[in-house]
Structure 1
Amino acid sequence: MSGTSSTGVIGSGPSALYFLKNLLDRLHQMESPPRRISIFEKSHIMGTGMPYSPETTNIHSRSNISSEELPRLPQSFADWLRDQPAATLEELGVEPPVDEEAVYPRLALGRYFQAQHRVLVDRLREAGVEVHEFPGCRISDIRADAGGGVTLVTGEGAEHRLDRVVVATGHHWPNKDKPAAGYYSSPWPIHKLVPEKDGVLNFAIGTLGASLSAFDVVNTLAHLNGSFSRNDDGVLTYAAAPGTEDFRIVMHSAEGLLPHLQFAQEEPMREIYRHVSLDELLALVDAQGYLRLERYFDKVCRPALLRAFQKDGMPEMVDLLSAPNFRLRDFVEKMTDEHDYADAFEGMRQEMEEARISVENDRPVHWKEYMDDLMYTLNFHAELLPAEDHIRLSGEVMPFLMNVVAAMPLESGEVLLALHDAGKLELMEGRVELAEEQPHADSTRIVVSGGRRDAVIDYRMFIDCGGQKPLELSDYPFPSLVRAGDVREARALFADPAEAARVPEKKRDKLCTGEDGRPAYRVGGLDIDPFYRLVRADGMPDSRLHDISFPLTTGLRPYSYGLQACNETARILIEGWMRHG
């Protein structure tokens, strides 16, 4: 095999895993394939990734993706599980027989990814690529060298010079915990929430958000303070342990919504161009070079959703969408209202029956599946949106998608209902802010407003489960690139400069100036080109530097569909190498 280039990969989780898979698939089609790959992983465990590692999660943290939804690796998840001995399955919380449509604990996925990582590394070596692995090696800095190439600096000060680098560091949680006050800026690693010496938590606990991350917290702490079992009718129930009479969890949700439940799908794998071709999509770009959100909804989403609601037998939605004046905002409000119940838990109980019928009888909920596909398409072209539409997307559409389209496994919904029925779990609507003054050193005070009732609450434990936020430039872990202007913040220009003056006060700190002097808006994360090359301060992409980490690219890739997006991103990156060298 010809080729002299050397490539560094920072991180070895799913993004890096799918990079290796796509590289292997196209290796012999590349004019100058990498001859040497060096993989740097700060953990001592190669291949798992933060959400699936025993260092950060536990047996009570469940994934929300099944084997049939996972992009293909050398062996499918279900087949790999079937090959494991009974003791390993028991350790990983997997109860046989293994089912392609079932969801399993994240630890099981992590062990699977670890095994697939080893297979891919071996196959790359068999194909003639030198692969060097550096577990327990944190990269503390990156320098783009003036004479070409890239230098990686480890935490111990060692240097590795390479031709190019792929940053695949995955989730990044700035540590702003205040354990004395019981405040945690993220749930991870989840072990930090568990008291030492098998103690219990006999007091009220608050979570910011009612998302899948919040469920991991709820499930972990519930098992710490009691146990689950099924009654004679097969209904899951919860029994609190002695000495936990005051234990309860309050999930704070701005809209007072619980996630929708898992549903059957016609096509479990998302596709970028399922409902529109690339040429058709680019034809929607206006004379200014923008793809407008409302035009995308009208020309792409509307006809697809009409087909979906017709399949789902929902004539009211067909009639509404057939009216030209029924716009994106109307659609979001209508479908959110359908999910808005006076009692969110009773609403979930009602939806549980519908979801179970969908899953057990393989009856797809087409509109949710189509909406997933449509937003997945938009995700990979979001750099075409002007600033106005980025603001709308993040403020109006994304909360809807996260609450209404996000799918919680049925087993997880059963856990929430059992805890609520036992008086141990409640949901509180309203926006949450930390109080400006914290009067107690051993608790965190929050202020709740805009819901059914305003409140000021002190929690001995309060956990931010709001999910991964886009990292700012100041958070970028490689300071030399920032100082040299080799990276810049992602931004979008306003199609109408006058719209900049209408940005709400709380978002005005994100206003900036584009390179042509026009008003722009910082959308979050780092600027990348369509092939995930980092964009320098001068607006030019650097073919030596690639970043495929979700927290660093989510400003311009706001609806990355988990592991499927990891695979798609890696495929696009390799395609870029084949086009641009």
Structure 2
Amino acid sequence: MHLNSAPLKIGIVGGGPTALLMFKKLLDHGDQNISVDIFEKKQLLGAGMPYSRHGALDEHVTNVSGNEIPALFSSVEEWIAKEHLHTLNRFKVDASHFNDYKVLPRLLFGRYLSDQFKALISRAKQANMVVNVHFGCEVTDIIDDEQAGVCHIVHTNGIHQFDRVIICSGHHWPTRHEGKVKGYFDSPYPPEKLAHRTDHPVAIRGSSLTAIDAIRTLARANGTFEKSENGDLSYILDQKSPNFSMLMHSRSGFLPAVRFHLEDSHLSKDAVLSADEIARVMAENDGFLPLDHVFKRNFLEPLAAADPAFYAQIKDLSIEQFVEKMMAERERLSAFELLALEIKEADRSIRERKSVNWKEMLAVLSYAMNYPAKHFSAEDMQRLKVSLMPLISVVIAFAPQSSVNELMALHQAGVLAIVSVGDNSEVLVNENGEIVYTYADASGKKINTVYQTFVDAIGQSHLEMKDIPYPSLLSAGTISPAMLKFNDQLLAQKSHESGDEKIIKYADGSYYQLVTGIAINDHFQVLDRYGATSGRIYMLAVPYIGGYNPDFSGLDFGEAAAKLVTASMFPIQESLEDELLT
């Protein structure tokens, strides 16, 4: 129990999936002497952007199934069994043939999450926890009053004071040209803006799940999908859109891999390195956690147990050599030839309930390395981003079967193609207001193509500290930019002296690499300009912590972060619970 007579007042900024998981952890903790205020700028709790009409239409589906998500008030299967028939009919879901291994339409999943939030709030109030939800309430500033030891949340309807503030504001899509340049879209969201006839070629930047969202909406606005008696899917172009087509511009030229059966549906949450191991390894390596150690512990070792034959093929390879081997195998085929093979592999995996082990272990690695990544050296973080992350981003996207089947149908209809544009492509708006996509093809020839419609669909970008929409956090120095120390200080010094603006010399004379977002500690507490934390403000908003959390996304990540936040708020109780569990 919280020992003070006055309740610990907690403010949560945002009411989406991360806020839902955070609220559940606070409720599960069992401390009734707290109060929780939730500030949501929309009128719906739980769904956030991805699972509401701000991020999805009826055609968009989740890339996770019910058995893969953290436990909430009830399971997806239990909820579906009780949902209104007209809602299930709208989304073509048959409750009698549904189970927790199936993916859902995103809007339906959003209803599930919203109902879970309502149920948890009801349970909290029954337990005498004070809960206030502020709908239609946009937070415009957060002020950390160090002298008074409190925080203030400033919003469109007033100002509230709290002991702790947890920022769960979710996705953010800055605009560059949208609304100013006709046909230019800085993101595919909300998708209604793409749901209209487009009788000309469309450029799509990226080939991620975000790109698939745009493709599914554009395709339906300009044609129809039809399924034959034997189950084959085809795409029929609308007669009023004879010139419609879509070209994905991908850095690597790869499409996301297809969902398969996961042996461990929660991706080995217990695989995260313990604090003791991290401390021991850092002590042995000049204060750094080596990326090679994490790769060995969270990829190679579990792979050796799960798939000894595959492990034998790659056990002696460095990270770079492993990535080169896996990428080379993908490069042997065109993107859609590879996709056709992966569809068959995934179908077999799901039918036989047998994992594709190396892909699953790569997902485990991505999950497990996220939290200790802030302890990498600057050199290792660069290795991660340049070498390992491009493979991870392709392989563990887990594109749903229905999505990739539509991609194949569109490609076979001659409506969808993909081109590799490398790292130096540009999208420019010329003096005539035309959208020009510029890149070099495989032969090095420069390509300049003018498009009437361009959709930036590379997914959520890692944003900089200056993009945070709470001015007092910036002006007061409550937050600071994320940075990583170099292992090779002499080399870093030379790069700094040669003008590399991303390398800074710190007050102690050491050299650091600036990375995206803000600095946080292991409990997601923000660090100020002096590297200290007040302990009052927590940052769980994905776009602003990408520098220290290179692949922070998904409900599993949100649940783990919420547990760390709760542990820092109630350290004595959490340690006692851990001892009891042990």
Taking structure 2 as the reference length, the TM-score comes to 0.92
1:105 and 2:115 matched: no
SS in 2 for 1:364: coil
**Retained in 1: the 8 A contact 2:271–2:298?**
no
CA apart distance, 1:482 = 0.6
CA apart distance, 1:346 = 1.4
**Retained in 1: the 8 A contact 2:298–2:364?**
no
CA apart distance, 1:507 = 11
**Retained in 1: the 8 A contact 2:62–2:106?**
yes
CA deviations on 1:346-401 (whole Å, 9 max, x unpaired) are 11112211111111111111111112112211111111101111112122211110
How big is the alpha-carbon RMSD for the aligned residues of Structure 1 and Structure 2?
Answer: 2.2
CA apart distance, 1:335 = 1.1
1:125 and 2:119 matched: no
2:218 corresponds in structure 1 to 221
Cα separation, partners in 2 of 1:173 and 1:337, compared to 1, 3 Å: same
1:256 corresponds in structure 2 to 253
**Retained in 2: the 8 A contact 1:227–1:239?**
yes
AA matched with 1:289: G
1:339 corresponds in structure 2 to 330
Higher mean C-alpha displacement, 274-283 vs 407-416: 274-283
**Retained in 2: the 8 A contact 1:284–1:296?**
no
1:78 corresponds in structure 2 to 77
CA apart distance, 1:91 = 2.8
CA distance in 2, matches of 1:112, 1:220: 23
Map 1:284-299; keep pairs closer than 5 Å: 284-285=281-282, 286-298=284-296
CA distance in 1, matches of 2:133, 2:103: 30
AA matched with 1:489: P
CA distance in 1, matches of 2:472, 2:432: 40
CA deviations on 1:235-288 (whole Å, 9 max, x unpaired) are 111111112111011011111101111111111102343376554444322342
CA distance in 2, matches of 1:506, 1:205: 42
1:433 corresponds in structure 2 to 425
1:181 and 2:182 matched: yes
CA apart distance, 1:568 = 0.8
1:573 and 2:574 matched: no
Cα separation, partners in 2 of 1:141 and 1:495, compared to 1, 3 Å: same
Higher mean C-alpha displacement, 507-516 vs 550-559: 507-516
Cα separation, partners in 2 of 1:113 and 1:457, compared to 1, 3 Å: same
Structure 2, unpaired ranges of 5+: 574-582
2:579 corresponds in structure 1 to none
Map 1:531-546; keep pairs closer than 5 Å: 531-546=523-538
**Retained in 2: the 8 A contact 1:59–1:93?**
no
1:397 corresponds in structure 2 to 388
SS in 1 for 2:247: strand
1:320 corresponds in structure 2 to 314
Taking every aligned residue pair, what percent have the same amino acid on both sides?
30
2:208 corresponds in structure 1 to 211
1:489 and 2:481 matched: yes
Structure 1, unpaired ranges of 5+: none
CA apart distance, 1:580 = 7.4
1:356 corresponds in structure 2 to 347
CA distance in 2, matches of 1:80, 1:356: 27
Map 1:542-561; keep pairs closer than 5 Å: 542-561=534-553
1:135 corresponds in structure 2 to 135
2:47 corresponds in structure 1 to 48
2:577 corresponds in structure 1 to none
1:475 and 2:473 matched: no
1:309 and 2:307 matched: yes
CA distance in 1, matches of 2:435, 2:273: 49
CA apart distance, 1:177 = 3.5
CA deviations on 1:104-159 (whole Å, 9 max, x unpaired) are 11101111111011111111111111111110000100111131211111135x11
**Retained in 2: the 8 A contact 1:202–1:244?**
yes
**Retained in 2: the 8 A contact 1:93–1:108?**
no
AA matched with 1:407: F
Matched positions, count: 564
CA apart distance, 1:567 = 0.8
CA apart distance, 1:294 = 2.4
CA distance in 2, matches of 1:263, 1:507: 47
CA apart distance, 1:3 = 4.9
SS in 2 for 1:64: strand
2:502 maps to which of 496, 506, 510: 510
Cα separation, partners in 2 of 1:82 and 1:502, compared to 1, 3 Å: farther
**Retained in 2: the 8 A contact 1:254–1:451?**
no
AA matched with 2:72: L
1:244 and 2:241 matched: yes
AA matched with 1:140: T
2:13 maps to which of 10, 28, 36: 10
SS in 2 for 1:72: coil
SS in 2 for 1:468: coil
1:283 corresponds in structure 2 to 280
1:413 maps to which of 401, 404, 410: 404
Cα separation, partners in 2 of 1:361 and 1:436, compared to 1, 3 Å: closer
**Retained in 1: the 8 A contact 2:299–2:365?**
yes
CA distance in 2, matches of 1:374, 1:175: 33
CA apart distance, 1:438 = 1.3
1:387 corresponds in structure 2 to 378
Taking structure 1 as the reference length, the TM-score comes to 0.92
CA distance in 2, matches of 1:60, 1:500: 49
SS in 1 for 2:24: helix
1:449 corresponds in structure 2 to 440
CA apart distance, 1:341 = 3.9
Cα separation, partners in 2 of 1:352 and 1:142, compared to 1, 3 Å: same
CA deviations on 1:87-106 (whole Å, 9 max, x unpaired) are 01123453442221111111
Cα separation, partners in 2 of 1:144 and 1:213, compared to 1, 3 Å: same
AA matched with 1:556: Y
2:364 corresponds in structure 1 to 373
CA deviations on 1:150-173 (whole Å, 9 max, x unpaired) are 1111135x1111111111001111
1:192 and 2:183 matched: no
CA deviations on 1:305-335 (whole Å, 9 max, x unpaired) are 333432xx54xx51331x3xx2000011111
SS in 2 for 1:65: strand
CA distance in 1, matches of 2:340, 2:432: 38
CA apart distance, 1:565 = 0.6
AA matched with 2:518: L
1:19 corresponds in structure 2 to 22
Higher mean C-alpha displacement, 100-109 vs 509-518: 509-518
1:266 and 2:263 matched: yes
SS in 1 for 2:265: coil
Cα separation, partners in 2 of 1:282 and 1:300, compared to 1, 3 Å: farther
Cα separation, partners in 2 of 1:139 and 1:435, compared to 1, 3 Å: closer
2:165 corresponds in structure 1 to 165
CA distance in 2, matches of 1:211, 1:184: 16
CA deviations on 1:499-539 (whole Å, 9 max, x unpaired) are 43686999944222334231111221111110111111111
2:576 corresponds in structure 1 to none
CA distance in 2, matches of 1:222, 1:185: 19
